[in-house]
């Protein structure tokens, strides 16, 4: 299940290098200035394209903004699509997701901050649209993973799959922000130690123990 595209077909036809340059530039502009103050002309200039070209790729600033958000979660989306059809144990799936969160949050911190800002701001226009697109996809995949675990006796049958999926997603989202966003990172350190963001294997191990105690018989 792919996310809805918010760019025009012309954006897919340009070189990968140019696409990345535009999205990287837009991400920084939105992250530092916010959606309302970000400027399409400034983004175009910094990306080395004309503003006219930018509007050939995106209908408006909102579509560019939503595309940058999707760009930030692309690797996670690809992994989730693989897990949706995987026959792996539910804990193996959880570990793969956590390790991808650790990798992507550290490598793409600016993008995660942008995502965090969008979900935290009082902006029902973006929140409702993005929640429907992104969260509906993750909710479906996590729910399927839990249901499949019940069939193979990996997961307790008395657990509500939808609510368990919601709780899992909250763990994943908290970890994502804790590796990338300053406030959550400090919170992470207060609870788990100053070096916690460097102890990836320990984080995985503890998360798996917690999830196992909740899901397994």
Q: Is 94 found in the same domain as 45?
A: no
Residue 183 and residue 79 share a domain: yes
62 and 100 in a single domain? The answer is no
- H runs (alpha helix) in the chain: 9-13, 16-37, 40-47, 51-57, 61-72, 74-84, 90-107, 109-120, 124-130, 136-151, 161-180, 182-192, 200-215
Same domain for 18 and 108? Answer: no
Task: Say if residue 104 is in the same domain as residue 172.
Answer: yes
Q: From first to last of the 217 residues of the chain, give the pLDDT tens digit.
A: 455 788 999 999 999 999 999 998 998 888 778 788 899 999 999 999 999 999 999 999 989 988 887 776 676 677 777 877 788 888 999 999 999 899 888 877 877 777 777 666 555 666 666 666 677 788 888 998 899 888 888 899 999 999 999 999 999 999 999 998 899 999 999 999 999 999 999 999 999 999 999 998 7
Global model pTM greater than 0.85: no
- For the chain, the residue count is 217
Whether 77 and 3 have beta carbons less than 8 Å apart is answered as yes
Specify the CATH number for the domain of residue 165.
1.10.357
At 44, which CATH number? Answer: 1.10.10.60
Asked, for residue 166, whether it belongs to a domain, the answer is yes
Tell which of 70, 96, 113 closes a domain.
Answer: 70
Tokens standing for residue 23:
């999205």
Instruction: Provide the residue range defining the domain that includes 143.
Output: 73-215
pLDDT for res 1:
47
Supply angle C-alpha 125, 129, 135, rounded to 5. Answer: 135
Rounded CA-CA distance 170/26 in Å is: 27
DSSP 184-211: HHHHHHHHH-TTGGG-HHHHHHHHHHHH
37 to 31, 33, 34, 156: CA distances (angstroms): 10, 5, 6, 49
| Torsion sign (Cα): 63, 105, 182, 175 | positive
| Predicted local confidence at residue 82, as pLDDT | 81
Give the pLDDT of residue 123: 59
């Amino acid at each position: 299940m792919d996310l809805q595209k918010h760019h025009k077909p012309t954006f897919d036809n340009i070189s990968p290098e140019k696409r990345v340059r535009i999205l990287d530039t837009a991400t920084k502009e939105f992250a530092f200035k916010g959606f309302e103050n970000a400027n399409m002309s400034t983004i175009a200039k910094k990306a080395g394209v004309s503003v006219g070209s930018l509007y050939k790729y995106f209908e408006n600033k909102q579509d560019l903004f939503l595309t940058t958000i999707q760009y930030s979660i692309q690797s996670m989306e690809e992994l989730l699509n693989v897990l949706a059809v995987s026959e792996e144990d539910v804990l193996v799936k959880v570990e793969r997701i956590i390790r991808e969160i650790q990798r992507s949050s550290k490598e793409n911190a600016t993008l995660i901050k942008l995502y965090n800002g969008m979900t935290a701001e009082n902006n029902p226009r973006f929140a409702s649209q993005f929640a429907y697109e992104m969260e509906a996809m993750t909710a479906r995949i996590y729910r399927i993973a839990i249901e499949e675990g019940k069939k193979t006796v990996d997961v307790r049958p008395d657990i509500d799959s939808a609510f368990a999926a919601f709780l899992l997603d909250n763990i994943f989202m908290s970890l994502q922000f804790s590796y990338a966003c300053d406030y959550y990172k400090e919170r992470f350190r207060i609870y788990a130690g100053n070096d916690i963001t460097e102890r990836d294997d320990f984080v995985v191990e503890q998360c798996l123990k917690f999830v196992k105690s909740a899901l397994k018989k």
